[in-house]
Structure 1
Amino acid sequence: SLKINKPALWSLSDPNLYELKTTVLKGGVVMDQASTRTGFRSYTFDPDKGFALNGEWMKVKGVCIHHDAGVLGSAVPREVWRRRLQTLKEVGVNAIRTSHNPQATGLYELCDEMGLLVLNEMYDEWVFPKRKWLEGWNVGTPGFQGSYDIFKEWSEIDLADLVRRDRNHV
């Protein structure tokens, strides 16, 4: 166990982050090492009051973003994300929803650094698949298309992987 006396809490205005270093030893020999950056905060959801971060009730002002940057494609340079997130913060945004799938870890790292809350969305469809016009808009009969057929088999595995990957982000 680890005790940190009076850590500086992570918040939207002061996104304090700590680097946790872990070393696995066996017989005094270093077997593995890892470094994890994280912040300390508390949050509360209440059906009547809403959302509180570190005991401070606030309005979540969020936007939905996709994994790409328009003409730049899906391999978005870190500085492009930084400028985009900074612009969103400047207009009052304090939360990001990752529509409709998890993002590359660099986006979460920037949100940690810049004081942005994240709703890490996992699936674009769940038990029921989307109905799509398979032959074109308003052509033929709408059918089912997507990951529905493999959802039951893979959803729990994918969700557990996501939680393991992103659990230390603020």
Structure 2
Amino acid sequence: MASLMENLVEILDKECTMYEKLLELSTRKTVIIIKGDLEELAKITDEEQCVIGGIQGLEKKRETAMKDIANVLNRDVDSLKLTDLIVVLEKRPEDQKNLAVQRDRLRGVTDNVRRVNGQNQELLLSSLEMVQFEMNIIQASKSAPQTANYSRALDTTGDCLGYTSGGFDAKQ
């Protein structure tokens, strides 16, 4: 059991380190989004994908370690959480402390990653809205006001002042 606990604590430590790298990348991404540097944004997104791949690998190892611990403790794997495991380890205070420290560290860093990613998402949405606004201004500037010319049906003809829709007119 001791080696299983050491293995789990080691995996959680590595997972925390990977999440800290992800947090650092996400924080750098905030500055890049504000600058609007698309090349750097692409690079940092690629780096994030590599880190996320590492986190997913560690997550599988953590699930395997939890499964092994659940089998030793004769508990249901799906219902055994780190918090429950900390309570079970009350007779082993050193393992309990190490596991609690890693759980709290992991919770803190994942909360920070979630917060920074939320900010980045808001910044990206604001950027998209700004681009849409600018595109609307460009489209509006291309359409001139309509004339007051009426057709036989007493509707406006929809003609625009000084605006032609086509290219070269050979008759002129």
* TM-score of the superposed pair, with normalisation by structure 2: 0.21
* TM-score of the superposed pair, with normalisation by structure 1: 0.21
Structure with greater helix share of residues: 2
Select the structure with the greater relative contact order (CA < 8 A; seq sep ≥ 6).
Answer: 2
